[in-house]
Amino acid sequence: MIVVGGGIGGLGAAFSLTRQGLAVRLLESAPAFGEVGAGIQLAPNCTRILDDYGLLDEARSLGVVPDAMVMRDAVDGDELTRIDLRDLEKRYGYPYLVIHRSDLHGLLLRACERAGVELVNDAQVTSYENTADGARVTLASGGTHEAGIVIAADGLHSVARRLFVDDRPVSSAYVAYRGTVPAEQPRVRSVDLSEVVVYVGPRCHFVHYGLRGGELLNQVAVFESPKALAGQEDWGTPDELDAAFAQTCDFVRDGLPYMWRDKWWRMFDRAPIMNWVHGRIALLGDAAHPPLQYIAQGAIMAIEDGWVLGEHVARNRTADGAVDWSAALAAYEAVRPEHCRRVLTTSRRWGELWHLDGLAREQRNALLRARDTYDYSFTDWLYGPTALTPDQEPEMFTPIPLSSVAIGEEVLTGDAA
C-alpha cells in the first residue's frame, strides 16, 4: 500500500500499518525528511498511542513531562486557572508531554525505518485516481505508483482532498511567531520550565514551555493581523507582532525579541468534511481535518487516524489473512470524521474565547477563576481512549455561557464550577 506525505501523520500511519504486516511505501515530496517548527504538545490521547507503539519511553527522553498547565491574562499577568498535569496523568493513565516537533518527527521516522517502511523522497504527487484493483498516484516527474490502497496524508493543501470537496483553506487572520531560547539565557532563568503557560489577551496570546529536558524554552506569539483583515497580501509582519502585544504585561513583551522574525506561520483551517474514503483512496491527518491549534490536537488527530486505521485492519481480516479493505475503511470513516469535526469546531471557539476584550474578557476571566483545578469536565471528551467505534465516542462537554457571569457582583449564575 502507499502513504502519501512524510509528515507526522504520514509516518504515524505508515508505522501503524506496517505493524499489521502490510508492506508500505511512503512517498514524500521533499528531497529529505524533516519537520519545521518548534514545540508540540502531546496530550494523553496521544501518549497512550505512543505507548502502544512502544515509543513512549523514547518520547519521554526527548521531551519534558510538565507539572502544570497554567492560563494567565496577558494584560495584567494574573493567573486565571490551572490544570495539575500529574493528577491529569493519574486520571487518564498517560502523561501530558511536550516535545520538539522535529524530535517527534525523527522518532516516528526511525520507527518506520526499523519496521521496514519503504521511504521514497522527491516524490511529489500531483493526482490520485482509483483503478480496477486499487488506486494510482501520478508524480510531478510523470512517474506513477500503484497499490491496493492509497492513504493521502498530504497536508493542508492536499491534492487528494479535491476528490471529496471543492474547498480552500480558511484564513483565521491570525499568525504565529515561534522561537526557542537556550536555558542559559536570563529570560529562561525567570521561567518555571515545569509549566506550560498560555497568556490570553485581546486578539493575541503567548505560550511558553520547556523542551529537550529543560535545555530550551519554547515560545509562541499569536495575534490577529490588521493587514489580513484589510485584505493585504503582506500580512503578519514583525511590525504587526510588536503592535499586537504593546498593551500586554512586561513578561510577555520581554519575550518578543527572542522570536524568530524572518519566518512566521499564518493560521488556516478548513471546514469539517464527513466523507474521507473515495474508492481505495482515504484521507488522513491535515488532508482531512486541518485545525486551528488552540487545543493542541492537530498532530494528535493525525496520529490517532493512523492508529485507528491500523486497529481496523487488524479487526477486518479474512480467513486467509487478507484485509477486507471495504470493511476496514468503512469502520475508519464511521468514527474519525465526527471526532475531528468536534475538535475543529471546538478549536475555533476556544480561539475566540482566548482573544476576548472588554466586558467579555472580564466574564471569561471570572469563569476561569471559578473553575476547580481538578475539574475535568472540559477534557474528558478529548483525553480519554481514542474511540474505535461511534458508540465509544464520549459525550461532549456542556458550554457555560459568558452571560451567566455578573461582573461586579461577584456572583456566578449557572454551573460554572
Give dist(CA 264, CA 262) in Å, integer.
Answer: 7
Question: Which residue, among 196, 257, 158, has the nearest Cα to 65 in the 3D structure?
Answer: 196
**Contact present, 7 and 35 (Cβ < 8 Å):** yes
Using the predicted structure, report yes or no on whether residue 411 has a pLDDT greater than 70.
no
The CB-side HSE value for 178 (13 A sphere, CA atoms) comes to: 15
Give dist(CA 272, CA 122) in Å, integer.
Answer: 30
Domain count, the chain: 2
Please, is 41 exposed, middle or buried when counting C-beta atoms within 10 Å of its C-beta (0-12, 13-18, 19+)? buried
Using the predicted structure, report yes or no on whether residue 414 has a pLDDT greater than 70.
no
One domain, residues 8 and 118 = yes
CATH number of the domain enclosing 275: 3.50.50.60
One domain, residues 317 and 364 = no
Q: Check if 376 is active-site.
A: no
CA angle 37, 221, 43 (to 5 degrees): 60
Helix ranges restricted to H, 128-237: 186-189, 226-229
One domain, residues 315 and 368 = no
pLDDT at position 408? 63
Catalytic residue among 92, 209, 258, 383: 209
Of 297-301, 393-397, 406-410, the range with the lowest mean pLDDT is 406-410
One domain, residues 11 and 128 = yes
Using the predicted structure, report yes or no on whether residue 62 has a pLDDT greater than 60.
yes
pLDDT at position 214? 87
One domain, residues 276 and 407 = no
One domain, residues 139 and 115 = yes
Q: In terms of residue numbers, what domain contains 400?
A: 360-384+391-412
CA angle 30, 33, 39 (to 5 degrees): 115
Using the predicted structure, report yes or no on whether residue 413 has a pLDDT greater than 50.
no
Of 354, 370, 401, the one marking the end of a domain is: 354
The grid coordinates of residue 8 equal 507526522
pLDDT at position 412? 37
Q: What is the model's pTM?
A: 0.95
CA angle 293, 306, 83 (to 5 degrees): 40
Give dist(CA 210, CA 215) in Å, integer.
Answer: 7
